[in-house]
């Protein structure tokens, strides 16, 4: 029995946590769809998530594109398959690296700050104050963030795709001796709508996951500064893991035959 | 147990005429967190227009009591009626409708630190009552003036305020929607005695002007005498004494005596080690 007990307890704990998160998600979604809406707050979150994440995401994308070109060149050179480089760069960026890396960067930047902000509001009774002023915290705090995450990440990823491909182009033409025109034509010939679209769908899902984790852990934080710290860590870690899991399943949905 | 001291009939207080319907009627209210029982059958009546005070040691569940009435915490058992309407278990729009009757000054003011002071004060008007922003702004400045804060303070952020100013802004926010019932959770805790007196006077003035019903919490007896008509003492999750604040010195209740005189010796044993 002493072996079964902790297993059972862990299982129950897991079930409870899953149930609570599902409930939170459903409640949040229902409030995203029902008025009143707060356009001012949605806009503020869009700027916070979209605009202020541009530098981080842009830098990540350009270096990723550059290193992709460089690495695939050193590999493909052995088989004289250098001409595949534009293809490798554009497909890897749009399908995988653009959304995943942007998602992870935003999880670190936005997910953490959301958990900290909402967590602080929780432990300083600001969320209770919202309730007593007859304002639903799900509508006022959570829905604007989820909507902004869902809409801004695809835009960020689209920009990251372009910057990433440009990074590969710069390295290929300046360092590896590719012809600029040929490189660009090859890129545009290879890339398919489905590559980009699957990446943008991933981005929307990741944006939702990051903001959901930030809000969920912040909203349920307990016990002062320490609780807020724990909420921040949990938000980033859980969002990162969920991004990598969902990335696999969305890929399977789009490309598995 | 302390059943011998459990004599909380409203007749002991001033507002004892039984034909008036209580504004807030609490019966058998219980709340536990895990296996820690905080409220264990609280009975209390608060009549329209009176100012009732709840005293009790730190951690005795005074804030929990207020949060249960506001629907911020869900009681495990018992009933709370506001104007004769049961509020335990209300949800959504019904709960919001009842909450619009209330104003609350939180223990640490709980100002929204992402909003400037005036928007904090105007919050209930803009979000709760959907008033236009400029109209709400004008009312907010008016309420800030009522608590002795100038227009310039309205544009500051809450982080720039001192403790006394935060309480004042919290008070202005609590009265901005002109609620019928106002709760004050330890309005003077953490302030110097002079500022405490200033806040107390503001509370009395605002409550009187609105003709509101007030329920306050404190363990500051000087403040208690200034702001309340009746006092109720919370101990071990129950109201063990209710009576007029003016005669609290002659309560004849050993628990109340010990509390208001601040003695370590007596029937109340402090839990030094938290469970
Ligand atoms: N949300 C909560 N979760 C768990 N325990 C709580 C919660 N709120 C209050 N408590 C516990 O209830 C007790 C009473 O708290 P409170 O009402 O804040 O005391 P006070 O009388 O000082 O206002 C405390 O021991 C506190 O730890
Ligand atoms: Mg308290």
Q: Say what the pLDDT of residue A79 is.
A: 84
List, chain by chain if needed, residues with CB within 6 Å of any ligand 1 atom: B 33, 38, 56, 58-64
CB-count burial class (<10 Å; 0-12, 13-18, 19+) for B129? middle
For residue B148, the CA-to-ligand 2 centroid distance in Å is 26
CB contact under 8 Å between A129 and B107, yes or no, is no
Domains of chain B as residue ranges with CATH: 10-21+49-60+97-261 (3.40.50.300)
For residue B23, the CA-to-ligand 2 centroid distance in Å is 23
Residue of B32, B38, B107, B239 with the most ligand 1 atoms within 8 Å of its CB, for mutation? B38
ipTM over 0.90 threshold: no
Residue nearest ligand 1's atom 16 by CA: B61
Profile chain A (257 residues) by mean pLDDT over runs of 10 residues: 84 90 93 89 95 96 95 86 88 95 96 96 94 91 96 96 96 92 91 92 97 96 91 96 96 85
Residues B230-262: pLDDT tens digits? 999 999 999 999 999 888 888 888 888 888 888
Q: Say what the pLDDT of residue B14 is.
A: 44
Residue nearest ligand 1's atom 2 by CA: B33
Q: Say what the pLDDT of residue A36 is.
A: 83
Q: Out of B104, B111, B114, name the one closest to residue A132 (CB).
A: B104
Q: Is the dihedral of CA A209, A211, A214, A218 positive or negative?
A: negative
Q: Say what the pLDDT of residue B3 is.
A: 41
Residues 6+ apart with CB under 8 A from A55: none
DSSP secondary structure of chain A = -TTHHHHHHHHHHHHHHHHHHHHHHHHHHHHHHSSPP-HHHHHHHHIIIIITTHHHHHHHHHHHHHHHHHHHHHHHGGGT-GGGHHHHHHHIIIIIIHHHHHHHHHIIIIIHHHHHHHHHHHHTTHHHHHHHTT--HIIIIIHHHHHHHHHHHHHHHHHHHHHHHHHHHHHHHHTS---HHHHHHHHHHH--HHHHHHHHHHHHHHHHHHHHHHHHHHHT--SHHHHHHHHHHHHHHHHHHHHHHHHHHHHHHHH--
Q: Which residue of B has its CA nearest to A121?
A: B112
As a whole number of angstroms, the distance between CA A75 and CA A88 comes to 12
As a whole number of angstroms, the distance between CA A52 and CA A54 comes to 5
Q: Out of A121, A125, A134, name the one closest to residue B106 (CB).
A: A125
CB contact under 8 Å between B96 and A134, yes or no, is yes
DSSP B172: H
| Cβ(B72)–Cβ(A132) below 8 Å | yes
Ligand nearest to the CA of A224: 1
DSSP B125: I
CB contact under 8 Å between A126 and B127, yes or no, is no
| Cβ(A243)–Cβ(A100) below 8 Å | yes
Q: Which chain B residues are closer than 8 Å to A135 by Cβ?
A: 123, 127-128
Of B135, B232, B215, B220, give the one whose Cα is nearest residue B174. Answer: B215
Q: b/e per residue, A143-174, with b = 16+ CB within 10 A?
A: bbbbbbbbbbbbbbbbbbbbbbbbbbbebbbe
CB contact under 8 Å between B124 and A133, yes or no, is yes
For residue A51, the CA-to-ligand 2 centroid distance in Å is 41
For residue B72, the CA-to-ligand 2 centroid distance in Å is 14
Ligand 2 (ion): residues with CB under 5 Å are B 63
CB contact under 8 Å between B113 and A126, yes or no, is yes
Residue nearest ligand 1's atom 8 by CA: B64
Higher pLDDT, B198 or A161: A161
Q: Which chain A residues are closer than 8 Å to B102 by Cβ?
A: 132
DSSP secondary structure of A22-46 = HHHHHHHHHHHHSSPP-HHHHHHHH
Measured from the Cβ of residue B270, the count of other Cβ atoms closer than 10 Å reads: 9
The residue of B127, B172, B180 whose CB has the most chain A CBs within 10 angstroms, and thus the best one to mutate to test that interface, is B127
Does B1 score more than 60 pLDDT?
no
**Residue B96 C-alpha, separation from nearest chain A C-alpha, in angstroms:** 5
Mean pLDDT score, B130-151: 91
Residues from A in contact with B at Cβ < 8 Å: 117, 120-121, 124-126, 128-136, 140
Q: Out of B99, B106, B114, name the one closest to residue A134 (CB).
A: B99
Residues 6+ apart with CB under 8 A from B17: none
Ligand nearest to the CA of B189: 2
Q: b/e per residue, A207-231, with b = 16+ CB within 10 A?
A: bbbbbbbbbbbbbbbeeeeebbebb
Residues B99-120: pLDDT tens digits? 999 999 998 899 999 999 999 9
Does B13 score more than 70 pLDDT?
no
Residues B26-44: pLDDT tens digits? 999 999 998 899 999 999 9
Mean pLDDT score, B143-169: 91
Of A73, A41, A61, A253, give the one whose Cα is nearest residue A148. Answer: A41
Tell how far CA A9 is from the center of its chain: 32
Of A44, A92, A85, A50, give the one whose Cα is nearest residue A170. Answer: A85
Q: Say what the pLDDT of residue B271 is.
A: 59
Does B222 score more than 90 pLDDT?
no
Residues in chain B: 275
Residue nearest ligand 1's atom 3 by CA: B33
Residue nearest ligand 1's atom 20 by CA: B59
Q: Say what the pLDDT of residue B273 is.
A: 52
Residues B52-97: pLDDT tens digits? 999 988 889 999 999 999 999 999 999 999 999 999 988 888 998 9
As a whole number of angstroms, the distance between CA A40 and CA B127 comes to 12
Angle between helices A98-106 and A224-255 (to 10 degrees): 170
The residue of A124, A132, A140 whose CB has the most chain B CBs within 10 angstroms, and thus the best one to mutate to test that interface, is A132
Q: What are phi and psi of B224, to 5 degrees?
A: -55, -45
Pick the atom of ligand 1 nearest to B56's CA.
21
Residues 6+ apart with CB under 8 A from A38: A139, A140, A143, A144
As a whole number of angstroms, the distance between CA B1 and CA B23 comes to 30
Q: Which chain A residues are closer than 8 Å to B108 by Cβ?
A: 124-125
Q: Say what the pLDDT of residue A37 is.
A: 87
Q: Say what the pLDDT of residue B5 is.
A: 43
Q: b/e per residue, B37-49, with b = 16+ CB within 10 A?
A: ebbbebbbbbbbb
Q: Out of B102, B108, B112, name the one closest to residue A132 (CB).
A: B102
């Amino acid at each position: 029995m002493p072996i079964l007990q902790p297993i059972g307890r862990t299982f129950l704990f897991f079930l409870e946590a899953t149930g609570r998160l599902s409930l939170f998600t459903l409640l949040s979604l229902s409030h995203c769809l029902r008025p009143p809406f707060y356009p001012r707050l949605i806009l503020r979150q869009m700027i916070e998530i979209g605009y202020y994440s541009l530098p981080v995401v842009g830098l990540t994308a350009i270096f990723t594109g550059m290193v992709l070109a460089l690495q695939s060149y050193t590999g493909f050179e052995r088989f004289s398959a250098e001409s595949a480089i534009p293809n490798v760069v554009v497909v890897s960026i749009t399908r995988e690296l653009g959304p995943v890396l942007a998602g992870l960067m935003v999880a670190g930047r936005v997910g953490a700050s959301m958990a900290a902000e909402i967590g602080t509001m929780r432990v300083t009774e600001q969320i209770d104050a919202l309730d007593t002023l007859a304002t639903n915290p799900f509508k006022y705090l959570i829905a604007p963030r989820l909507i902004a995450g869902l809409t801004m990440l695809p835009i960020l990823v689209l920009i990251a795709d372009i910057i990433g491909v440009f990074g590969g182009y710069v390295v290929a033409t300046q360092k590896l001796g590719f012809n600029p025109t040929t490189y660009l034509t090859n890129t545009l010939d290879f890339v398919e709508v489905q590559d980009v679209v699957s990446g943008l769908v991933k981005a929307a899902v990741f944006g939702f996951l990051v903001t959901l984790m930030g809000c969920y852990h912040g909203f349920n934080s307990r016990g002062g500064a320490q609780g807020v710290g724990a909420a921040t860590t949990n938000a980033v870690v859980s969002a990162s893991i969920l991004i990598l899991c969902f990335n696999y399943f969305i890929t399977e949905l789009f490309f598995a035959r | 147990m302390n059943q011998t001291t459990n004599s909380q009939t409203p007749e002991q207080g001033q507002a004892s005429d039984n034909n008036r319907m209580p504004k807030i009627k609490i019966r058998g209210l219980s709340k536990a967190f895990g296996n820690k029982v905080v409220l264990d059958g609280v009975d209390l009546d608060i009549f329209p227009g009176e100012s009732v005070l709840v005293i009790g040691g730190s951690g005795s569940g005074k804030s929990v009591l207020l949060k249960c009435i506001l629907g911020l915490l869900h009681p495990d058992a018992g009933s709370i009626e506001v104007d004769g309407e049961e509020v335990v278990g209300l949800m959504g729009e019904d709960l919001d409708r009842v909450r619009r009757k209330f104003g609350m000054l939180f223990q640490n003011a709980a100002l929204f630190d992402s909003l400037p002071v005036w928007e904090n004060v105007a919050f209930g008007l803009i979000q709760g009552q959907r008033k236009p922003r400029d109209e709400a702004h004008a009312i907010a400045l008016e309420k800030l003036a009522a608590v002795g804060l100038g227009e310039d303070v309205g544009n500051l952020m809450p982080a720039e305020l001192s403790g006394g100013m935060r309480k004042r802004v919290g008070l202005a926010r609590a009265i901005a929607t002109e609620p019928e019932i106002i709760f004050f959770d330890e309005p003077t805790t953490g302030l110097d005695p002079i500022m405490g007196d200033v806040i107390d006077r503001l509370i009395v003035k605002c409550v009187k002007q609105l003709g509101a019903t007030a329920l306050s919490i404190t363990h500051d007896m000087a403040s208690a005498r200034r702001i309340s008509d009746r006092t109720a003492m919370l101990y071990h999750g129950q109201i063990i004494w209710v009576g007029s604040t003016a005669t609290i010195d002659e309560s004849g209740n050993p628990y109340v005596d010990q509390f208001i005189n601040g003695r370590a010796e007596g029937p109340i044993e402090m839990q030094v080690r938290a469970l």
